[in-house]
Amino acid sequence: MSQKAETIQKDSAYSVPVAARPEFVLARGEGVTLYDTDGKAYTDWVAGIAVNALGYGDAELKAAVSAQMDTGLLHVSGLYHTQAMPELAQLLCDNSFADKAYFCNSGAEAIEGALKFARKRAYVNGDVNKTKVVSFSEGFHGRTMGALAITPKEKYQQPFKPMVPGAIVGEFNNVESAKEVIDADTVAVVVEPIQGEGGIHVATAEFLAALRQLCDAHGAALIFDEIQCGLGRTGDLWAHSFAGVSPDIMALAKPLAGGLPVGAILTSDAIASAMSPGDHGSTFSGGAVVMRAAKVVVNRVLSDGFLEHVAEVGEYLMERLSELNSPHITDVRGRGLMAGIELKIPPASVVNAGYEHGLLLVSSGSNVIRFVPPLIIGKAEVDELIDKLTAILEGIDDDS
């Protein structure tokens, strides 16, 4: 049996079957290209689900991780000081609305922590009934029980009911709906400034501003989930910047450590000051290797010309996607390097054809192909994508 066949067979024999993977095995990456064990190249429009912001094989990222490994110190837990964690916290606070940061290990964990922070502030204030959490249609906040409860998708929730109580769903981008669901019992309002998993839906500035006003009026914490859309992906550092409003808490994760697992909760002093030692924690929180990697990523995103590059290539991508002019496409939307095309045909047909053409693509929602590549991708790769998508879409019949 070939090594590739052996890997695929072992996966099916021993892995809990929660994922359907294509029939190749990825072995290495360079820049924005991944190679499988047969040496076939794939231009990566997925980036490990909007994670690998600096692509593959970034020299500085590699040096930072190796240097930390060389100290022998990978993990000491949150019981002790290490250097990089407060440096990263300062870097994120200096460049956002936030006064304080907390680090964890994933997006879902950042959302869970954010909900606890909001709950703790209400508790300290003696607001015992303030426990409702508002989220919005098509939103996605993670798979753990608290995050799942505010991810209003029947397919994800149904087998795991009962859900954590208190979750209320409003309609995304509908101010009237938000007014109906946010009230004095609302402890937190959670929203993605651009919905990723739900199908690349961009929040309007009016909607985000209305949420800010409603949260202020009712003493609720406004939580922006920028786990997918934040940290440079839109061409702004933060996806909410364009709207001119700030949250009380922001959750980050996916791209933050360039591919290592991490999550972050950024927050105001008003909320952070309600938290005391022992209120929250995680064994792996703020690990030295991950923090050093994240510093490289954040500094790079902040470096001269980086965000301009994302904005420029993002605009070019939107422009070229809009020109595709295929009868299968019903909408093109997004911002920066977070784009989606809505299709009349099953996205899986396009994703699967992409593999044959040496493209990694991923769907989102029920009928969207989303493009969330490494942020270092260039116009040449956009041209390649458009040529290949044109061929793929022409090769698919209407009734497929």
The binding site for ligand PLP (CB under 6 A) comprises: 106-108, 111, 140-142, 192, 196-197, 225, 227-228, 253-254
CA 118 – CA 110 distance, rounded (Å): 12
Identify whether the C-beta of residue 132 lies closer than 8 Å to the C-beta of residue 98: no
* Nearer of residues 106 and 234 to ligand PLP, judged by Cβ: 106
Chain-centroid distance, C-alpha 313: 19
C-alpha count within 13 angstroms, C-beta hemisphere, residue 395: 13
Question: Which residue of this chain has its Cβ atom nearest to ligand PLP in the complex?
Answer: 107
* Nearer of residues 247 and 388 to ligand PLP, judged by Cβ: 247
Rounded alpha-carbon distances, angstroms, from residue 328 to 187, 323, 362, 364: 43, 13, 17, 16
* Nearer of residues 84 and 262 to ligand PLP, judged by Cβ: 262
Least Cβ distance, residue 309 to ligand PLP (angstroms): 22
Least Cβ distance, residue 247 to ligand PLP (angstroms): 14
* Nearer of residues 186 and 364 to ligand PLP, judged by Cβ: 364
Least Cβ distance, residue 124 to ligand PLP (angstroms): 26
Least Cβ distance, residue 88 to ligand PLP (angstroms): 18
Least Cβ distance, residue 169 to ligand PLP (angstroms): 16
CA 6 – CA 172 distance, rounded (Å): 45
* Nearer of residues 49 and 396 to ligand PLP, judged by Cβ: 49
* Nearer of residues 107 and 166 to ligand PLP, judged by Cβ: 107
* Nearer of residues 117 and 329 to ligand PLP, judged by Cβ: 117
Identify whether the C-beta of residue 280 lies closer than 8 Å to the C-beta of residue 102: yes
Please give, one letter per residue, the 3-state secondary structure of 270-299.
HHHCCCCCCCCCCCCCCCHHHHHHHHHHHH
Outline where 192-248 has alpha helix (H): 205-218
**Residue position matching structure tokens 């290797």:** 289
CA 136 – CA 146 distance, rounded (Å): 15
* Nearer of residues 314 and 389 to ligand PLP, judged by Cβ: 314
Q: Is 183 helix (H, G, I), strand (E, B) or coil?
A: coil
Least Cβ distance, residue 69 to ligand PLP (angstroms): 23
**Residue position matching structure tokens 């930390």:** 68
* Nearer of residues 15 and 125 to ligand PLP, judged by Cβ: 15
CA 80 – CA 318 distance, rounded (Å): 47
Least Cβ distance, residue 216 to ligand PLP (angstroms): 24
> What residues have CB less than 8 Å from 27, skipping those under 6 apart?
35, 36, 37
Least Cβ distance, residue 151 to ligand PLP (angstroms): 8
Rounded alpha-carbon distances, angstroms, from residue 163 to 138, 168, 190, 370: 17, 12, 17, 29
Q: How many Cβ atoms from other residues are within 10 Å of residue 330's Cβ?
A: 12
